[in-house]
Structure 1
Amino acid sequence: MSTVRDRPAKRLPDARPVRRSARPAPGSPRTPGRAWPYLLVAPTVLGMLYLLVYPLARAVLISFQDFRLRQLIRGDAEFVGLRNYRTLLTDARFWEVVRRTFLFMAINVVLIMVLATLVALVIERLGRVGRTAVLSALVLAWAMPVLAATTVFQWLFHSEFGIVNWTLTSLGFESFDRYPWFAHGPAAFTILVVLIVWQSVPFAAVTLYSALTTVPTELYESARLDGASAPRIFRSVTFPTIRPIFMLVFSLEVIWTFKAFVQIWVMTNGGPGDATTILPVYAVQTALSSQRYDLGSAASMVTVALMAAVLVLYFRQMFRQEGEAL
């Protein structure tokens, strides 16, 4: 008899369940891959906090301290509460500077917005070549550095070598021979207004022109068919459509004009007398000339508060006209 040998049984594969990588619980820390975008943004955020938030917080702190040259060197400043603000708010010169600042801002902003709107409307009606030429000129004027433009205006109105005096004298106005523009308060104030308007109109005009290109042409055609005039079309069609951009440009111009410093400091240093001194110039004069860094910081904080109040009042008025609540 032949013996049958038992073959060993084949082992079946182990049917253990395959473990899948479990997703992290909602409360678990993020994986390195998900945290990578935040790590990339972190240097920019930290730099912004250091360059913007820290100086603002430091200025607020100094405004509540007795901080002069001695405290700047030794670092032993004492808190004095609201004493610096009381000193500032009871100074008659400070309130004269506040009045001049609002006058300066109002004149500049009105001129900038009116001229920029007119320039934008003209660009919209030009042909391709004319539009390109005007936009190029606006961009070049806007790209000029503030310090360079201020220096050019200084030479234009120079009492001996300025082309303005030479032109007026050549036209027969002999009283403008060597006329000292920057020695007279109203003349210096007017020159600064012209400079800031010239520097600000290009940005506002290009932005408003971009907004005008979004107005549907069907609305213009319907208004013309109804017999509406050009001013009526602007009031009822154009302006309501570009109102958000107009509000943005207006608020930016308020901010830029309110804090105008470089042009005034380079051209007149706030003079003659206080004819061109506005709040930012007053703050620097107080901090550097009198070495009262505490009063200068307090003036800066009051400037920020006044500027914010102006913008809030403007936005409340605009939203009220649109039937919204702020």
Structure 2
Amino acid sequence: MQAVDSPTTRPAPPGGGTEQRAAVPRPSRRRRADARVPWLLALPTLVVLVALLAYPLYRMIVLSFQNMRLRELLTGLTPSWVGFDQYEKALTDSTFWGVVGRTAGFTVVSVILSVLAGLGVALLMRRVHPKVRLAMMIAMMFVWALPQLVAAQTFRWLTDSDFGVLNYLIDKLPGVDYANHSWFVNPWQGWSLVTVLVVWAGIPFLAISLSAGLTQVPKELLEAATVDGATSRQALRNITLPILKPLLTIVTTLSVIWNFGLFTQTWVLRDGHPEPYYQTLATYSYTQAFGQSKYSYGSAIAVITVLLMLGVMVFYIRQMFKIGEVD
């Protein structure tokens, strides 16, 4: 007769009986399979991105090591190979580092304001009547669907020095003279308008995403905290924000990626000719390449921008996979 499987036992001890051997934990095959699910789900997107971006990125990198000028572009001659000269020129240029600092400063300020405003709107949406919440979501969806070019052009009309509605309304205030006022003569005022435009366009995504995340906060915890005497601020800090932390990390990282690549807003608001103090890395690379025909130098700046953003994108992807593993 075939023996029936049974737990492995050791020889009986002197006192009699049997001693069962402790089971050795083994990695679960299902757990290993679940760990591969986020990668498999992301694989189609990665394949499409590689297919669309691999060759342009390769050409940009090669061009950054050459000296492509207008003559080579028109005649089809092979540009001369200059190695790291374009990168050395960029990294030793004080103007370039000023653009980097300006871009980083704008990114930090705009992301902080966007996330705080989005979180505030999301918290408000959880407290208002469902019909009001639906109206808010529809309005924000319209804002979200508005192309950046259209939104920037609208802000440009609103702030026009001659016919802008903003100047007209401010000029109606007692003792204020804003007739024919140009908002972009002073860089602080100009960047304030750019920041308002970027924050306004970013609130819908942040508010809707965080509002969805707030539905995962157990009401029982909030009610228990209220019974224990916790204020709304304490409940937000100790209960809501820790639960929202993974989602906040994701949306904040996305905002950093989007705002760091700022181009359309400053380009349109400055009528395609942004002054030096309105240049960002994206516009600076473009103007160097196509405005001054320094194609290789512009490519080098673009490659440096990609490298600066690579760490943020890697962090974002890691956080996405961590959330998938937790789920």
Answer with 215-224 or 99-108: which moved more: 215-224
Alpha-carbon distance in structure 2 between the residues aligned to 1:79 and 1:219: 64
Secondary structure of the equivalent of 2:107? Answer: helix
Q: Which residue of 1 aligns with 2:133?
A: 131
Q: Which residue of 1 aligns with 2:68?
A: 67
| Contact 2:250/2:316 (8 A) holds in 1 | no
- Report percent identity of matched pairs: 37
Pick closer, same or farther for the CA change 1:296–1:272 going to 2, 3 Å.
closer
Answer with 222-231 or 103-112: which moved more: 222-231
Q: Which residue of 2 aligns with 1:149?
A: 151
Q: Any unmatched runs of 5+ in structure 2? A: 1-42, 320-327
| Contact 2:65/2:86 (8 A) holds in 1 | yes
Alpha-carbon distance in structure 1 between the residues aligned to 2:266 and 2:162: 21
Alpha-carbon distance in structure 1 between the residues aligned to 2:60 and 2:131: 50
Q: Which residue of 2 aligns with 1:22?
A: none
| Contact 2:66/2:296 (8 A) holds in 1 | yes
Q: CA RMSD in A?
A: 2.4
Structure 1 residue 225: Cα displacement: 2.3
Secondary structure of the equivalent of 1:176? Answer: coil
Q: Which residue of 1 aligns with 2:102?
A: 100
Count the aligned residue pairs: 276
Alpha-carbon displacement from aligned partner over 1:224-255 (angstroms, at most 9, x marks no partner): 22222111111111111111111110011001
Letter in 2 for 1:52: L
Alpha-carbon distance in structure 2 between the residues aligned to 1:184 and 1:291: 29
Q: Which residue of 1 aligns with 2:295?
A: 293
Secondary structure of the equivalent of 2:200? Answer: helix
Alpha-carbon distance in structure 1 between the residues aligned to 2:232 and 2:207: 19
Letter in 2 for 1:102: A
Q: Which residue of 1 aligns with 2:244?
A: 242
| Contact 1:185/1:271 (8 A) holds in 2 | no
Q: Any unmatched runs of 5+ in structure 1? A: 1-40, 319-326
Structure 1 residue 115: Cα displacement: 0.4
Q: Which residue of 1 aligns with 2:91?
A: 89
Q: Which residue of 2 aligns with 1:172?
A: 174
Letter in 1 for 2:145: A
Q: Which residue of 2 aligns with 1:36?
A: none
Q: Which residue of 1 aligns with 2:58?
A: 57
| Contact 2:158/2:164 (8 A) holds in 1 | yes
1:246-265 map, 5 Å: 246-265=248-267
Alpha-carbon displacement from aligned partner over 1:178-205 (angstroms, at most 9, x marks no partner): 1012333222211111111110111111
Pick closer, same or farther for the CA change 1:313–1:127 going to 2, 3 Å.
same
| Contact 1:62/1:294 (8 A) holds in 2 | yes
Alpha-carbon distance in structure 2 between the residues aligned to 1:69 and 1:234: 58
Alpha-carbon distance in structure 2 between the residues aligned to 1:209 and 1:67: 49
Alpha-carbon distance in structure 1 between the residues aligned to 2:50 and 2:108: 32
**TM-score, with structure 2 as normaliser:** 0.79
Alpha-carbon distance in structure 2 between the residues aligned to 1:230 and 1:47: 45
Q: Which residue of 1 aligns with 2:9?
A: none
Q: Which residue of 2 aligns with 1:282?
A: 284
Alpha-carbon distance in structure 2 between the residues aligned to 1:206 and 1:191: 24
1:112 aligns with 2:114: yes
| Contact 1:105/1:254 (8 A) holds in 2 | yes
Q: Which residue of 2 aligns with 1:15?
A: none
1:195-210 map, 5 Å: 195-210=197-212
Q: Which residue of 2 aligns with 1:189?
A: 191
Secondary structure of the equivalent of 1:252? Answer: helix
Letter in 2 for 1:189: W
